[in-house]
Every structure is written in C-alpha cells, then in structure tokens.
Chain A
Amino acid sequence: MSVATALPPAPRPARAGAPAAHWGRWGLRGTALAYLAVLLLIPLAVIFRDGLREGLGGLWDAVRAPAAWSALTLTLWTAAVMAVINAVMGTLTAYVQERFTFPGQSVLNALIDLPLAIPTLVTGVMLVVLYGPQTAIGSWVQEVFGLRIIFAPPGIILALLFVTYPFVVRAVQPVLAGLDHDEEEAAATLGAGARLIFWRVTLPALAVPIATGTLLSFARAIGEFGAIAIVAGNIPFKSQTAAVYVLGAVESENRLAASAVSIVMLAIAFTLVRVVDWLQHRRPERAE
C-alpha cells in the first residue's frame, strides 16, 4: 500500500529561452487542479459549509449531542485498540515472514493481501456467520468470558483487524528486508541473543514503518462502514460507530449532525495522514 511520499524540492530546470513551455506549464497545472477541485475539493468544501452553517458553535453542539459523542468515542477507542493489536501482530507477522523460513510462507504472503480483495460487506457477513452469538465459538466465549463478540465492540475490533490486516505488515516488510545487517551481526558477534538483538537493534529501526502502518490502519478504521454495519449491532450508545451514526443522521434528515460528525471524521483522518507524511519525511536518509 502506497503511503504519503516525501516531497524533495523539485529542481527548476533552466528555461531561459523556452516561452512555449509556459503554456504547457499552466495548462497542465490548471487541468490537474481542476480535476482535484471537482473530485476532492468541492465535495469537501460543500460538507464543511453544510456543517458550519450554524457556525462553529452549532457544529460543536451537534458533535456533543449524546448519541454523536458516544458514536465518536466508540469509533475512536475501538480503532485505537485495533491499532495496538495490529501494530504488534503486524510487526510479528512481517518479522516472521522476512526472517524465518517455514512451509506455507507464500500462502501466508497471499493471505496478507486477501483482506484488500474482499468487499467489506462480505467480510461483515462472514464474521457474523463464524463468530456470531448463534455459533459455537460465539456462545462459548459468551459463557466463559461473559463477552459478546459479534454485535458488540469486540466484533467491531475484529472486523477492523480484518480490513487493516495488511497495513502494518506491508509497511514493515520492505524496511525489514532492506535493513542493514551490519549492526545486528555486530551485536551477534558480541554475544547478544536473538531476542536482545530484536528489541535493541531491529525494532528501533522499524519504529517509523510501524508507526506509519499503525496510523494508517487507525485512519482507515475510523471510516470503515460496510463490515461494521453488519457486525456491530448499531445500537446507539452501545454499538453504533460514527460512520453508522452519519448514515442514520442522513436518513433521518438530521443534516447538521451528519455533516458535523463527518467533518470531525475528516479532520481526524486528515491529521493522521499529515502525521504519517511528516514521519516519512523526517526519516533520515540512509547512505545509498
């Protein structure tokens, strides 16, 4: 998965004697900007205008409405829990894939990409079929742990883990593969065990890709709708996420609420994306 790339300062070619280039330059830029305007900027502008039509105060009131606030907090904490689990398991998976050899490795590699290929609607249905309260697993977990998976927050986290499965793995894998082994080998010759090497040498080098992968999966999770609508239960104050809340608000003509919560979701997503960009930009250039 491609992530925000760093922007090195683009060198300006000398164009002293090429006036013809000017037309092309502006035409190109104009076209590019128009395309972005229609597809991206205008829709964003419209929703901002709609959400702010009663001013910032109106927007805040709509967001602070109990159902909306509850939906936002549920979305954020389930995404956060998912992000932590994803960070750990994603890194582990990447490590195991890159550093060990074992049978079925290529199968695992394909599995990692699989969640991207399945429509989210189908993901939701399958999770209900497998882990719902009517299944052996679902009822067992409920009896033993008193915890309901599907139609409750754990189900939300499960669905989010599924759809973001590749994010951390694919962010870490290339970095891990390209990691300079000198430091690790040096540590090994000095007698450090594999575990120490991992914690003190490898992991710090992976900090940035783990962070970017995690943040991206968090951003993705906030907006997830298809799987959540099936899996979550959608009960206000209990299992209704922000995306489902927005749908309900749109459908019940509560436009201000819909726009307001959408704006919050967009703002969070945008912030996360900027952080990821910053993280990648500030990565010290390795000597090639």
Chain B
Amino acid sequence: MNRKFVRGVGAALAGMLLLAACRAPANSGAPTAAGGSAAPIKLILGAYTTPREAYGELLPLFAAQWLAQTGQTVTFEESYLGSSAQSRAVVEGFEADVVALSLETDVTRIVNAGLITHDWKAAPYDGIVSDSVVAFAVRAGNPKNVQDWADLGQAGLEILTPNPQTSGGAMWNILALYGAALRGQVAGVAANDDAAAQAFLEAVLRNVTVLDKGARESIVNYESGVGDVAITYENEVLTGQQAGQDYELVIPTSSILIQNPAAVVDTYVDKHGTRAVAEAFVAFLATTEAQRIFAKHGLRSPDPVVQGETAGQYPAVADQFDINFFGGWAEATPKYFDAEHGLYYAAIAAAQGQ
C-alpha cells in the first residue's frame, strides 16, 4: 500500500480517536492520601429498577453522613436497569463502584467476570440489603377476585409479568410460582409433581399479555390500564400506591422471599480510588437506619429490629420459602432459565402451542 494512503488512514483514525477521547468524562476519583477534607468523590451505583425511590432517599443521607464523618463530598451517579441487564452492563464495561441488584445470580455473574474478588456474602445478612415477596397487583376492588396462585390460571385473565431474560423480578416471579406449586400450595396442583407444576406454569403463561423489560416497566404498564393482574414485587405495588395509584396488593398464601444483594465491585473501586467510600456505603445500607428507609419505601428488611417495627406493615406470608428451596441460584438458574433447556422456556413455548 501507498505510504500516503497509510498516512491518510492513520490521520483519520487518530482524529476519530482523539474526538472520542475528548468526550470521555474527566473521572475525578482518588481522595488525597491523608484523611481530612479531600477532593470531592463520585460513586457510581448500578441498581435494578425497583428501589429507585429508596435510593433517592438513601443516597443524600449517606452523602450527608460521609461529609460529617470525613469532610469529603460524595456525589452519586445512578443507573437503574433490569437486574440482569444491569449485571451484564457491568460485565461489559459499565464501571459501577457499587451494584445493588435484584438477585444473587446477577452478582455472581460479576464475580465470575473477575470484577468482584472479595467475599461479598461475608457482609451482614449475607450481603442482602433488602427483601420483598412476590405478590399480585389487582385493580381496585379486585373485580376478577384474584386471591391466590390458582386464580391466575383462569381463562380470559390478562396477566403482566416481566421478561426473565432481562428482568430479575421476572425470575423471582417464575420461581415463586414453581415453588408454590411444588409445595402443594396451589389448589388443583399436586405437590412435588414437576409435570403438574409445569402444566400450571403453562396455563398462567398463556394468560400473559406483555413481557416488559423490567419490573418497573411492567408495573407502569399495568398502571396505564393494561391487564387484570400484575405479578410483581410487593414493594413495587407499595411504591406505586405511595405514588397515588389505586391498585390493591394481594399476597398469595405461598410466596418466595426475594432477597436483594448489594456489593462493592473491586476492580472498579480500585481503578477509581473509591474503595473507602464504596465500602462505607455498602456497610451503611446494612445499618438499621438505612433499613428503616428501605422499609419506608415498601421493602422488607433482613434486620430483625426493623422487622419487628414493621410487622404490621408487612404481614408474614403463610408459606414463605426462599431460593434454598431450589438448592440456591446455582441450581435454579440452569434448571429453569437456561436459554436452551430451561423449564421456563419450555413452558412459554408450550403455552404458545409449540
């Protein structure tokens, strides 16, 4: 190739890269070595869609506390996406310092990518910062009389639930259904019968009208008048009610305890020099004060003190189980959600007559 040609190519590439680099935001990161008032620091939070309002209150509170403690100003950059989408984004290069996701398996993905290297489960409550349960949102007055799982299979009912491929909430929903069925808590479905549970899931999936990308999008869609029932996080319903929506919350007899983890992302905090703040923030989330704020925004708490305080707000589920019923996410994810062999995907295909 001609030398001039190569020069032209080189100039073009350099120019474009320069242009791109100019746009990269200046990342102020490292606080000065000695304590005391240091340069302002930015913490990047990657969260799932649902706890948006809770973090809206938690972040300023933490910032105020950190300022009082260390004299350093911390600002936050937040991203709220479907839990799986968020987890993937972090793996693909979204440099979140802290992740707060819907389910453990999304944190595991980040661990497997080598970005989280510490034992995040060693934190209080096994790294869980908030809980919820799978519940239903129904129209005011519950016109379709949806009281429990079995009612979801009735013909002509329109159900909203998010897409498990992108939404953590959707995965909780599906597992709650399976669990309830396998535990014999669904009228008409035999206990411990895999085939019966699968058939029940198919029946319910046949009634699903829309699969939204995230739990929040799903409930917002429900709010615009679509569908009769939305299977969702209890806290989504409560937050919606707090925002003035007039739907009702129905907690089924049997439901799964949703446990939402949060963790520091080692690679990025070391890169940004934000480890101290990040660790303090995650520790803050486990404090009773923060837990009370979660509870204020519709989330249950792993903190026994707060549990006691909010017992009236958050009635116990008659038959509550958790992910361990399925042998943990390590077993549940491949069994139910593997793209080729997962039982959920088999069910959705069967529901459409495939």
Q: Do chains A and B touch in the complex (CB under 8 A)?
A: yes
Pair A128/B224 contact, Cβ less than 8 Å? yes
As a 0/1 sequence over residues 221 to 265 of chain A, the CB contacts with chain B under 8 angstroms (1 = contact) are 000000001000111111010000001111111100100000000
Question: What DSSP secondary structure best describes chain A's contact surface?
Answer: helix
Contact pick for A133, options B13, B226, B337, B352, CB 8 Å? B226
Interface presence of B318 (CB below 8 A): no
Q: Is the CB of B211 within 8 A of A237?
A: no
Stretch at the interface among B2-10, B186-194, B269-277: B2-10
Closest CB-CB distance, A111 to chain B, in whole Å? Answer: 25
Interface status of A33 (Cβ within 8 A of chain B): yes
Residue interface mask B242-278, A partner, CB < 8 A = 1: 0000000000000000000000000000000000000
Q: In chain B, what residue has the closest Cβ to A135? A: B225
Measured CB to CB, the residues of B under 8 A from A are: 2, 4-9, 11-13, 16, 82, 84-85, 88, 158, 163, 165-166, 208-213, 221, 224-227, 337, 339-340, 345, 348-349, 351-354
Q: Given contacts A229-B213, A248-B163, A252-B84, are A38 and B16 in contact (CB under 8 A)?
A: yes
> Are B8 and A134 interface neighbours, CB within 8 A?
no
Q: Provide the bound-state CA to CA distance between A132 and B224, in Å.
A: 9
Q: Does A66 contact B (CB under 8 A)?
A: yes
In the complex with contacts A66-B354, A234-B211, A236-B349, A34-B224 CB distance below 8 A: no
> In the assembly, what is the distance between CA of A70 and CA of B340, in Å?
15
Specify which chain A residues have a CB less than 8 angstroms from the CB of B13 in the assembled complex: 34, 38
Q: Are A33 and B9 in contact (CB under 8 A)?
A: yes
Q: A26-B2, A30-B5, A34-B12 are in contact. Are A237 and B163 (CB under 8 A)?
A: no
Smallest CB–CB gap between B351 and chain A, Å? 8
Q: Given the known A-B contacts A27-B5, A66-B354, A67-B345, are A234 and B212 also in contact in the complex, defined by CB atoms under 8 Å?
A: yes
Q: Which of A19-75 contact B (CB under 8 A)?
A: 22-23, 26-31, 33-35, 38, 65-67, 70
A residues near B4, Cβ cutoff 8 Å: 22-23, 26-27, 30
The tally of residues in A whose CB lies under 8 Å from a CB in B reads: 40
Which of B165, B209, B352 contacts A252 (CB under 8 A)? B165
* A-B residue pairs in contact (CB < 8 Å), sample of 6: A27-B8, A30-B8, A133-B209, A235-B209, A235-B348, A238-B352
- A167 contacts chain B at the CB level, 8 A cutoff: no
A240 neighbours in B (Cβ, 8 Å): 211
Task: Tell me if B8 and A29 are in contact (CB < 8 A).
Answer: yes
Check: A85 CB closer than 8 A to any chain B CB: no
A30 touches B6 (CB 8 A): yes
Interface residues of chain A, those whose CB is within 8 Å of chain B, are 22-23, 26-31, 33-35, 38, 65-67, 70, 128-129, 132-135, 151, 229, 233-238, 240, 247-254, 257
Q: Are A31 and B339 in contact (CB under 8 A)?
A: no
Return chain A residues, CB-CB under 8 Å to B16: 35, 38
B299 to chain A, nearest CB (A): 24
Rounded to whole Å, the gap between the CB of A180 and the closest CB of chain B is: 45
Q: Are A151 and B12 in contact (CB under 8 A)?
A: no
Chain A contacts of B163 at CB under 8 A?
Answer: 234, 248
By a CB distance below 8 angstroms, the chain B residues around A132 are 224-226
**How far does the Cβ of A168 sit from chain B's closest Cβ, in whole Å?**
30
Q: Are A30 and B7 CB-contacts (below 8 A) given A237-B352, A248-B163, A252-B84?
A: yes
- Whether A134 contacts B224 by the Cβ 8 Å rule is yes
Query: Complex formed: what's the CA distance from A27 to B166 in Å?
Result: 46
Minimum CB–CB distance from A150 to chain B (whole Å) comes to: 8
Q: B339 contacts A252, CB within 8 Å?
A: yes
Residues of A within 8 A of B337 (CB): 252
Q: Are B352 and A26 in contact (CB under 8 A)?
A: no
Give the CA-CA distance A31 to B8 in the complex, in Å.
Answer: 5
B212 near A134 with CB under 8 A, answer: no
A-side contacts of B339, CB under 8 Å? 249, 252-254, 257
CA distance A237 to B211 in the complex (A): 12
Which one of A28, A66, A229, A248 has the greatest number of beta carbons of chain B within 10 Å?
A: A248
Residues A29 and B166 in contact, CB atoms below 8 Å apart: no
- B225 touching A234, Cβ below 8 Å: no
